[in-house]
A and B are shown apart, each in its own frame.
Chain A
Amino acid sequence: MKVREIMTKDLTAVEADLPVRELIFIFENAEMPNTPVVDDDGILIGFISEKDLIRAALPGYFELLHSASFIPDMNQLSTKLLQIADEPIGNYMRRDVHYVTEDDDDLRAADLVIRQGVKNLPVVNAEGRLVGRVRRIDLLRQLL
């Protein structure tokens, strides 16, 4: 089955110059854990998730730690998040985006979702424009 047959036809996406605080609003209200980032022509240029924002709010040495219990308190995270709240999300998005095209097989989408551990993948057309997303639930629904 082709990706176009199972994808969710939603074009919710953000621009790279969107402030972090606006992205948090979108994540909360649209109930999306992540979103594609597109340019002014709708071409997919990046991807950003709640995880990326949390990582951005953590101290630089966090990657060296084994557990979040080493973080002294939540205020530290809050202070850092406030510092970056008005920064463009382009500073924190991932540019190496995992995506599928609408003509790809569902197997390729499933493979990426499983191996990359992502909840959904952007779907683009032949021109690289966002046309939807494949959610894990879209794949599961197809399998039933």
Chain B
Amino acid sequence: MIGIVGFGSYVPAYRIKARTIAAQWGDDADTIERGLLLTEKTVPGQDEDTITISIAAAKNAIKRAGIDPQKIGAVYIGSESHPYAVKPSGTVLVDALGIGPHVHVADFEFACKAGAEAMFVSYSHVKSGNMEYSMGIGADTSQGAPGDALEYSASAGGSAFIFGTKNVVAELLYEHSYTSDTPDFWRREYQHYPRHGGRFTGEPAYFKHVLGCGNALLEKSGMKPEDFAQAVFHMPNGKFPLKAGKILGFTNEQMKQGWVVNKMGNTYSGSSPTGLSACLDVMKPGEKVFMISFGSGAGSDGFIFEATDELPKVQPLAPTVHDQLDNNKIYLEYGQYAAYRRKIRFND
């Protein structure tokens, strides 16, 4: 049996409400909330970045896995906000958590699907017998330009998944990837903020790939939407995942637990992995979860996991996603937010 042996997430304490951002720019808050189905989003603290978020999430995953970190043979962090253009994020993490030095480390980038990509490769390592454990992480401190619609959603957070063969808590039953050259969203080197193709990010990008991957995964597995207790789709805003899920035949009830976007925003590479983590927080043995990521550029990785008898034993060992989302919140005003996100300059 191959699958997840430990999982964990990290949600920053800071928040900004969509209404606060709307007030700053003179936007109509009701329209924004209704249009994007977002009420607030997370904001990274001034000393937080993709590395610290990854470490916090990975720590929770190791707690749940209950394994010697030295046995982890590979660590991959998927993000589009690695703090350094040249210098890996993963090296800091392996030293901080006592993994390695005999470990393979790489930073992945594929817009919002880099986390799922890290999971995909980690799973493949274990499946091939190349190593006992491998960890895939999706984490971001997403960028959204001031005044851009993205500013309402771009948030921070991440999740980590350790794959292995012993004491598996969620077996990976099927996986599928769907990729094409679709330039809907990009950020070039030296640019602070990503650019996007407006409506082009919708039908030809998000929906084509999410639905293409989702349909293929259903076909490959021979399963139907009603076979799943939970379903998670990448969450660039509140509307897209619910629409994609509905088209595939899933109900809002199936998507409710993993639909963290209305309180968390879009954590880019951390988005669908954190939705998955939230589902694993509550799933019962035998229940299945359907997950489809999406990364602009564009592609989707999809997974089907089934909870084992081991899952309930590890669920209480680390904070759940919704616990972190609902507690210990510190709300920021726009000025503080602008400072935390380094959107304004101060004297040193």
Asked if chains A and B come from one complex, the reply is no
Binding site for B on A (CB under 8 A): none
Binding site for A on B (CB under 8 A): none
